[in-house]
Chain A
Amino acid sequence: MTIIPFPARGGRRYGGPVVTEAMSFEHEQDDVVLALATRLVAGEETALEEVYDRWSALVHTYALRALHDPHDAEEVTQQVFVAAWRSRHTLTPSPAALPAWLVGIARHKVADVRAARARDAARLAAVVSLPGARDGDHQSADDDVAERLVVRQAVEELPDPRRTIMFLAFWEEHSHAEIAEKVGLPLGTVKSHVRRGLMKLHQQLEGVRHESR
């Protein structure tokens, strides 16, 4: 890891070089995702493989939390990526679009499974005279789960040292000073990473929220 010197100039500003470096890898990341989305829309199968490798854990975990059944979660995951491929032309490539779009598809698949469960339960209840298992409105709980998972996934794919810094700050709740000591970076650099990381997560979440409307 390169240690970027804390700039002497500029009073309260947290480091020109830091920000420049931060911006450049952010832009790189965005460009990679954008290019991936564009290739998917164009029908490149390798793009689907990359999309799967990058976001299948997100989709699978979402389905698992929503359905509480490993088999159903697996099946939904498969359906989501097959559907993603078949409806790839509905994706508008942008840096935050892919996970949001996949979560959007996953929402529908989860709803299908729930509807099927509710149908089964209702039929059976009518036939066997058992009280029907109800399946109420899960939407807001699902949205919360989706957003938390998108945040987790987005942090996991941040390049280090930002990834480590974000985990230390948000998961282990260390102070910026503690993190600076731990990772051996100046306090200003750590702060800048946390702030820009937060902005990145905000960008990803906006995509998800937009998709759910």
Chain B
Amino acid sequence: MADKNGFFDLSKTTLSRRTALKGIAAGAGLALAPGFVRYSQAQSSAPIKIGFQSHRTGIGAAYGRWYEKTSTAAVKAINDAGGISGRKVELVIEDDGTDPARGAEVVAKFAKQHKTDIVFGTLFSHVVIGSAPAAGENKIPYFVVSEGHHVASTKLNRYVFQPGITDVKSQIQSMAPWIAANAGKKVTQIFPDFAFGYDHRDYLPPALKAQGADVIAQIAIPPTESSFTKYFPQIPAETEVIYHVMVGPAVLTFVKELGEFYGSNRPQLFGFIDSLEAVDINSPGLEFLDGSHFWEGSPRYAQPDDSAAQKAYRAAVGIDDNGAAVGDPKDVSTAAHMFGCWETLYVVKKAMEDAGYKGPEDRAKLVEATEALKEFAEGTEHPQGPKTFNGKIHQCFGIQNISKVEGGKLKVVHKTKIEDGLYEPEGDYTTQAL
């Protein structure tokens, strides 16, 4: 190969003593720069630093942006009310690129470089699963808002908590009776071919079976897929309900192509709003969804029976009655999930105050104090609704909403009860050493 300019000729790049000295001096200067000054020990007046692992880039970026908005609003509300144990709270944000390897690096960076008190974060299940070992190794509590069953499965470690959003297994179990009774008994599942999809693949069939309904086909689709028509012939003709949980930027295509394939003569549709988070339900091509049903953690559209706490939460985060950013109706939020960030930060506040948390040396106490929590009452701190918390599996359980697409809006038609979603714990984190 021609290397006319000598790009790869190492002999041309000689390192002189002067260059080396310059480099060392610059390095020393950087180390002395203000950003590197650290508290030798956490002082009672120093702010509590929460490392926020955010999907700023990658396929989760729309979620990341709204998780940041919600968390910033929650931190502001907490600080305005006096902070945690009288100390201000400060978010330190790092981008995980919606990538598991990068996620683990970010957790380690929070522990070692930023020296944050805890790590808080992210949605995508593969990132959480990839990051959890780093949290365990660094013995830093890691509070996630991920929705997956991985935390409650007790396959992660004692430092990982999910106290702000119900896990998928519980969601499915609580909604299965409604699906079997109202949508249909022969269900075809379409899900993304990775961890989050597998939760649906594994837990829906037994949950429906218990209600006398059956999953007759399961179609896994690679998360990077951009065209879906080719999968639709696998949907059996006798299907009464298509249960879809797609994620990623191509979900609009999924719905549109499903519409083109079936036309008006379609089976019932039941989906997780994950498919359409941050997407305007009135986008061209989505008319096909009219009359279909969705799971929502927290309703995107303001409902007539919204509590005062829900209204205050929406105002604080800055979303209007349609779940879009105030002042920009095109900027649709990830309302069904992001409430979990708000609630998790309040759980952190409660646990830190219970533990008498002073600094990183108290992290073990914080873990134990979190495990001791039992329930969270509905209110300003928990606007989505009341929840119970199981300290053995580090997972909370709350109510779920089933919403119908009607006149270009999502209207809640059914709310599950907490008891509907409880299941036998699969293990016990508290037996693990701290």
* Chains A and B belong together in one complex: no
Interface residues of A (CB under 8 A from B): none
Interface residues of B (CB under 8 A from A): none
